[in-house]
Structure 1
């Protein structure tokens, strides 16, 4: 079979994922303000896609690279398809936006236009403009003496076309161009004073307010046209790790380059003046296919903050859900004493991330704890974990933190708190040259009687208490000696010089994870051929590694039943006769972002379950430090299998991947089951393990 028939292209599959996000914004059963949130996510997703994936394809095309990828596409051919599909998606996004504004108006909230305001409202907004907005604005003329200014990536600007006023000498028909940045430091939506006794909330976009008063910035000239535009630049960092004397300084230098990256895409307000558009085309040097004129306000990312800030509208949001503290720790303040007796599994966001914070806080305060070691990839602002690690180091404990300062779009924040940790006395290591450290693991070493005991937390998601409220992730707490020994070896390999370890429990990328996965799949193939139970259920964010896909095809042809829960990109084509008949792929897009990575294999009837930080992508398997950890406790294995089974049974928010590469909603005559809402009933998915508590 040709590549295009055997595989789905990664970037085309990503656009299909973003379309599923857009479908949530279009779904009338989704609460109205949540639909606005989904529209905002579509925008931010597309921004990152353009600044990284499309930017990379543009670079290949400009370099003359014409080879096809394993899915059968050249960079040039793929770019055309991507841009055509993304333009259609943007049109659909803005149609949905206009529909949602009508529904919002019925609820008493309006985003209005300046011309619809009455005089008292206009006067109040003029005062606001002169007092708050005007002092922040900077007009930037473009002429022979003042070259085109640097336009920052993904920031909103106004292109102003001017003519001389009657009091100015010279050709009255000559046009001039200038640029004004819409200040991102101010709120994108401005509250409009309401009429007396009106309960309606009325808002005006900041750029519309600036447009109405643009003449104040250009005295002596008349504004012929004012239109918004926005540039997306190549944001992928390419630090010279091997040649850098100081990796932190190298990353900081790359961050400064990011705002000056090559332009990838231009979004312009529909009807933009031809003089302004010609100027932008010339300066940005973008082909027509990368220029999109949009009928509506640019950058719908503002809808997230707008929807979140609306007061007294909880009836238009999802019902509030407060994560519960894991019941295993209800009767004690001593987390480690529980772990000496049993392993504990937690599943976020249904169970609180506070247990992870408390685990590290208790270790930091415990005089018998000798050392704390931790990997950090993305951490929230004002993180409790950073404070706990700093306190532990200041009290004399050995604290080692492996920081990934190359985490995309979090580089600056990671550098800041890495320096904070160093000042507190922590040993901060920036990972291995050429690899990103994506593993999620914490090791606590405690002196107990005449020995040392190791306590470990392994997770599928970042140590970030903010995202833990809306990402689904699994975390395992254990004092199992094999996992503890492997955790020690892993940190030794990441921080020092160490010969490859013979792992007892963990599988670690980039050397051992992929072979371990292949071994597990090969065993299922052998079991199928022997007539034994043979099944693979895997949950992940993305599946795009060609050799992994080929191995799954091989297993399918051998008779292994394979069920995959892949939220985002999936390059595997399921249901192709003779190739993937035994493979089913579903994707769930719902209130929470499905982020857990879980693998279950039948193992001839003795099921094995693993949690991992790694998706089945080439970057995760070959270019990152990742780990996969077995779940030894039978009850906890059953809990995770129950979570997987609920995902597979979802017939409300699940979509099934067709062999064509498109997705169809799962519909059947079964009782409606929405897996995220079912999982919120924690006793439901934990009760299956009750028989094994003893």
Structure 2
């Protein structure tokens, strides 16, 4: 490695590499075709969020004249140039992959057609669909002296239309209008099958509207119709301390988000120069323009792949989560958790067990109180219904709802209002801090005393994402954990002096320092000539001080293995600094989301579950939780999970000192895909 290269990888450039790994899954011919289409959809959704938050933030810094370098050595302007170059390359590769996937799908009889490829019967059918279903929803919006340029909503699809008046002289300037492609209708429109054909055919909604665009402009001749899409700055700017009602303040900010500063403009390749000029001037877009050769916004491929009936041969083999075997033995979940801790591994084990636990607590006359945090909740949450039932039956129900969960703000506001209506105490957390901890506490009267039952998790209380993300959940009635859980809720909901945590590490007060102590302990073991080993699994690692602490441990001789799915600013393999550190990333069927930390501790092994990544925002600006796993057998299972990830030689990539990732290549005769082996873990319980 060259001496001039920074010991840190830039966070945003690292994110680009993560999205490239997702794109590689879309390109991987060993993945089924419809699954590849889903990965391509995820690439698009990821880019949308990256543009609307990270790139938008860099633009803000440039507008403010900010020129200071970040810890990786980049100024905002320098980073902007690199990001635009790399995202442009990625988009080009993304659409090449789109064409490749649909060439494969066409061989399976699945087509997205252009209108001129349809036969007469199909054309009549889509014409009827347009006039009966689509046309009544459309609203043409002209732009002229009396009608100013309309509000263009972020990440919505529009058509830019140029028109001539019938009979107007040739030199007259064209008229400009836009038409929103209605997101309430399906983006892909099925067309009737051809006679004696098993082909499944669709047209895109924007192509259908373009075909009949003249029906919206009587007396005018449309001569240019092209799709475009705008991405706006989506970051919320809240004055929490000055807000009398945080919920109302966030609702106001969500409305302001519609007018966020434009960040990116996507247009169909070949758009008329005049239409492009109008858009750039009106939307004030100078540099971040993407000319797309293909359908704009490929995120529709997720729904397309999921809703296409049949074709199981083009999907991953179906996997139904199993109900945790511990809770199948005895129907009383309190009795089980009272006797032993229970570990759950999603999505291989069903999230229904969490719903059932809250439901049992809601109807149990001996349960006095239920307290929990909600960060991202599914659209039809059984948990919310159970909490409402508990409150209506007279139990003390306290719910900490995080209203600032990005892009889930509106849904969380709706849940908060529903819970308040049912009689729950709804708390919005502490000023200036997001509540990201995942914890559920049930207080129950038993045998003349009170017992606390706790569930802590690495993922959200969301039964939808629990089928798509790998996460860990722990049920326990351990009194030390129960005491810490009560203290945590007291700190969040009331006034409380700093608490001396017995088991937990809690951000922003002491989680970082506790991690430092655990890392330093391994360093001391290494300096004393003892074996020292850290394995840490998380989504992202970008906090400079934490990276420096890991560098110190590496220099002391600690063996460090990091499993970081996404952003990693640590640069491994630097002589004299990080030669004892290896970093791996696994991108596969399920989103790797669990946060697990292992410390060898001279043979007295310790394992922790956490809600926190090792990012500055998690360690200093959020309420986060790290919880020890006391049960020896469960610790063994978690260590086995970590080792499975480290043995992966199919979907694992290793981060090199260059900042680039390379596939891990093991024994070609013994491919090992950790997510496919991990499904056996529920069967190992009690046999770790």
Fold equivalence (TM over 0.5): yes
- Which residue does the alignment assign to 1:79? 80
| TM superposition shift of 1:687 | 5.5
Structure 2 residue aligned with 1:160: 161
Alpha-carbon separation, structure 2, partners of 1:143 and 1:546: 52
- Between the aligned partners of 2:103 and 2:630, the Cα distance in structure 1 is 54
**1:277 alignment counterpart:** 276
Matches within 5 A, 1:468-483: 468-483=466-481
Q: 1:598-632 CA deviation, whole Å, 9 max, x = no partner? A: 00001011100000000000000000000100000
1:551 counterpart = 2:533: no
The whole-number CA distance in structure 2 between the counterparts of 1:120 and 1:392 is: 57
Q: Secondary structure at the match of 1:265?
A: strand
Stretches of structure 2 that go unaligned for 5 or more consecutive residues are: none
Q: What is the CA-CA distance between 1:419 and the residue it aligns to?
A: 0.7
User: Aligned-pair distance for 1:682?
Assistant: 2.5
Partner of 2:189: 190
Q: In 2, distance between residues paired with 1:101 and 1:302? A: 14
Which digits, 9 at most, give the CA deviation of each residue in 1:351-405, with x for residues without a partner? Answer: 1101111111111111001100000000111211101111111111110001101
Aligned position for 1:202: 201
1:14-93 to 2 correspondences below 5 Å: 14-93=15-94
Contact persistence 2:633–2:686 (CA under 8 A): no
C-alpha deviations, 1:396-447, integer Å up to 9, x for none? 1110001101000000000001111011110000000000000000000001
Partner of 1:358: 356
Q: Is the 8 A contact 1:642 1:685 kept in 2?
A: no
Q: Which residue of 2 aligns with 1:318?
A: 316
Please give the alpha-carbon distance, in whole angstroms, between the structure 1 residues aligned to 2:282 and 2:337: 62
What's 2:120 paired with? 119
- How far residue 120 of structure 1 moved from its aligned partner, in angstroms, is 2.2
> Retained in 2: the 8 A contact 1:3–1:72?
no
Structure 1 CA distance for aligned equivalents of residues 3 and 480 of structure 2: 45
Q: Structure 1 residue 4: deviation in Å?
A: 4.9
Shift of 1:683: 5.0
TM-score (norm 1): 0.98
1:652-671 equivalence runs, <5 A: 652-669=650-667, 671=670
Q: Which residue of 2 aligns with 1:398?
A: 396
The match for 1:233 is 232
Pick closer, same or farther for the CA change 1:249–1:164 going to 2, 3 Å: same
Question: How far is 1:197 from its partner?
Answer: 2.2
Q: Secondary structure at the match of 1:95?
A: helix
Q: 2:67 & 2:11 partners in 1: Cα distance?
A: 17
Q: Is the 8 A contact 1:679 1:685 kept in 2?
A: no
Query: C-alpha displacement at 1:259, in angstroms?
Result: 1.1
SS of equivalent residue, structure 1 residue 538: strand
After superposition, give the CA deviation of every residue in 1:317-367 in whole Å (9 maximum; x if it has no partner): 000000001111121110110111111111100011011111111111110
Structure 1: distance between partners of 2:129 and 2:29? 37
Structure 1 residues 486 and 3: CA distance shift in structure 2, 3 A: farther
Q: What are the superposed Cα offsets for residues 5-45 of structure 1, whole Å, 9 maximum, x if unpaired?
A: 21000000000000000000000000010000000000000
Match of 1:129 in 2: 130
Gaps spanning 5+ residues in structure 1: where? 690-694
Q: Deviation of residue 3 (structure 1)?
A: 8.9
In 1, the alpha carbon distance for the partners of 2:666 and 2:76 equals 40
Cα gap change, 1:250 to 1:125, in 2 (>3 Å) = same
Match of 1:587 among 585, 588, 591: 585
SS at match of 1:5: coil
Q: Is the 8 A contact 1:537 1:601 kept in 2?
A: yes
RMSD between superposed Cα atoms in Å: 1.1
User: CA shift at 1:147, angstroms?
Assistant: 0.8
TM-score when scaled to structure 2? 0.99
Preserved contact between residue 678 and residue 684 of structure 1 (Cα < 8 Å)? no
> How far apart, CA to CA, are the structure 2 residues paired with 1:340 and 1:281?
64
**Aligned ranges 1:244-393 → 2 under 5 Å:** 244-288=243-287, 290-393=288-391
Give the match for residue 692 of structure 1.
Answer: none
Is the CA contact (8 Å cut-off) linking 1:4 and 1:72 kept in structure 2? no
CA distance in 2, matches of 1:621, 1:70: 17
- Which residue, out of 593, 610, 613, partners 1:612? 610
1:106 pairs with 2:110: no
Determine the C-alpha separation between the residues in 2 that align with 1:106 and 1:687: 48
Match of 2:142 in 1: 141
Alpha-carbon deviation of 1:124? 1.7
For 1:509 and 1:246, how far apart are their aligned partners in 2?
25
CA distance in 2 between counterparts of 1:369 and 1:253 reads 38
For residues 136-158 of structure 1, give each alpha carbon's deviation from its aligned partner in whole angstroms, at most 9, with x where no partner exists: 11111111111110000000000
CA contact (8 A) 1:14 1:568 kept: yes
- Residues of 2 paired with 1:549 and 1:396: CA distance? 48
3-state SS of paired residue (2:608): strand
* Contact 2:345-2:682 at 8 Å conserved across structures: no
Secondary structure of the 2:160 match is strand
Displaced runs of 4 or more, over 6 A: none
The Cα of 1:669 is off from its aligned counterpart by 1.8
